[in-house]
Structure 1
Amino acid sequence: MKTFVKMTIAAAALTLAGAWSASAEEIKVGFSPEAYPPFYSQDASGKWGGWEVDITMAICAEAKLDCVLTPIPWDGLIPALKSKKIDAIMNSMSITAEREKEIDFSDKYYNTPTAIIGPKDQKFDATPDGVKGKILGVQVSTVHAAYAKKHFGGIAAEIKEYQTQDEANQDLVAGRIDATQADSIALDAFLKSDEGKACCDLKGYVAPDLEVLGPGVGAGVRKGDTELKDKINAAIKAVRANGKYAEITKKYFDFDIYGDDAQSN
């Protein structure tokens, strides 16, 4: 009888393990370990949170994926994906034709405008004439760096690249650059900080350029990984339809960050 009970328990354990394995495939989701509120931020214990973390986990739960956040420097995310160190990227990475030469993308899961901010005591706008003769800071290997080089190169005094957006913000506060360009939501979070309130304001939104800025932010996956891409796409649609996307978004924003197809990011 004891032998039968042991065998039954063992069989049940194997069944449960098999069911978990079948229902929750583990994937490593790459992100750049830098403060990018309200999308990514780290608490005192070292735990990462924010809108994009919450949305990533909601998408993973819907897709029955056991997602493990895996820190990788921003400019190493695509190489890490291609070399199979990670399985996906969910880190405010815009879908662009240039990046699609190297990796595939899911459908977009958000899309917001691109903005320029600068010192309060300087009057200029987010146009070539506005940034003429100014030092413009951007984060390296981003669509904002590509946009600035295309539209402001040879017009701005210098396009200065930084490893993180926070470094560009700090140089703006210190007066080492005249302006910085990035996602409008991330810059809005900075402008609401004590440093941002004291120094800077919004100068405007850059003109759309779908070729450079892309149609929005998607999850990056390896070329040909259609199974994972299809799971993520289905999950994005599901969390939009079942209200989970709106529930999470309301914690951080007073508008729908999903945007429409005409917006650029």
Structure 2
Amino acid sequence: MKKIFVCIALASAAAGVCAKDWTTIRFGVDATYAPFESKAANGDVVGLDIDLGNEICHRLNAKCVWVESDFDGLIPALNARKFDAVLSSMTITPQRAEQIAFSDMIYKTPTRLVTRQGANLQPSPESLKGKAVGVEQGTIQETYAKKNWAPKGVQVVAYQNQDQAYADLIAGRLDATLQDEVQADVGFLKTSRGTGFQFSGQEIPTGEAAIGLRKDDADLKGKIDGAIAAMVRDGTFLKIEKKYISVDLRTN
């Protein structure tokens, strides 16, 4: 009993003094971003990130719990302790790193523009001036478009989730959407919804994705980093990745 009281007293003074119980890890996820994360017909969340998270939990002898959230609410919810980590194709940025910690890289996240076939648009402010481009709220694509395109006459329209952006693109209310290249390829262009649409222009390098963590959970970061390294080393990471995509996002 004395040890418990000492631990409680020290916890408020120095984060990480007492080891936390990570037998359950709650991952926050925006389930509108196939093939990384989406909803199956039975309501389960599925995808590359889900399989990676479940494998991490398996290696840490922990139970995985998936908590759904809109993407722009993931960091506030993480810091409010509604879950323990974010595994949702979240790219590392200086702005995000001010608010949370990140695991080691899980994969790279290039960005592409999607337009209707024959639109003759390019991912540049000159080409897109006067056009409406859809982005998902809170993403690096929203930040990029608002910084580089909006001041030069491009209408950047932010949506609560990626599916809403695609719906308006299909309906003709948008001229283009800007999002993760793999997500657009597998989650839209290679589906029936993507008929008549295409990538336009070259990819935009936009960084590396990792698992988001609270800054005071260094012990959990250490465990997750160790699991990621082991998965890469023994080939499990690549095996999971190949279920969903044909390229290795860690090297391409």
Aligned-partner residue type, residue 248 of structure 2:
D
Aligned-partner residue type, residue 101 of structure 1:
E
Distance 2:226 2:240 in 1: 18
Deviations 1:99-140 (A, max 9, x none): 011110001101131000111121121122222221111001
- 1:240 is matched with 232
Q: Which runs of 5+ in 1 are unaligned?
A: 1-21, 261-265
With normalisation by structure 2, the TM-score equals: 0.87
Deviations 1:128-170 (A, max 9, x none): 2222221111001111100001111122431000001111111
Q: Tell me the CA shift for residue 206 of structure 1.
A: 4.7
2:157 to 140, 160, 175: 160
With normalisation by structure 1, the TM-score equals: 0.83
Distance 1:196 1:175 in 2: 13
Distance 2:101 2:139 in 1: 17
- The equivalences for 1:226-265 within 5 A come to 226-259=218-251
Q: Is contact 1:136–1:156 with CA below 8 Å preserved after alignment? A: no
For these two proteins, the number of residue pairs brought into alignment is 232
Instruction: Name the stretch that deviates more: 153-162 or 113-122.
Output: 153-162
Distance 1:126 1:28 in 2: 37
Aligned-partner residue type, residue 222 of structure 1:
R
1:223 to 215, 230, 233: 215
State the Cα RMSD in Å. Answer: 1.7
Q: Which runs of 5+ in 2 are unaligned?
A: 1-19
| Structure 2 SS opposite 1:64 | coil
Distance 1:66 1:133 in 2: 49
Q: 1:72 to 1:222 in 2, by over 3 A?
A: same
Q: 1:207 to 1:45 in 2, by over 3 A?
A: closer
Aligned-partner residue type, residue 220 of structure 1:
G
Distance 1:63 1:127 in 2: 45
Q: Is contact 1:94–1:217 with CA below 8 Å preserved after alignment? A: yes
Higher Cα radius of gyration: 1
1:125 to 122, 127, 131: 122
Aligned-partner residue type, residue 52 of structure 2:
I
Q: Tell me the CA shift for residue 51 of structure 1.
A: 1.1
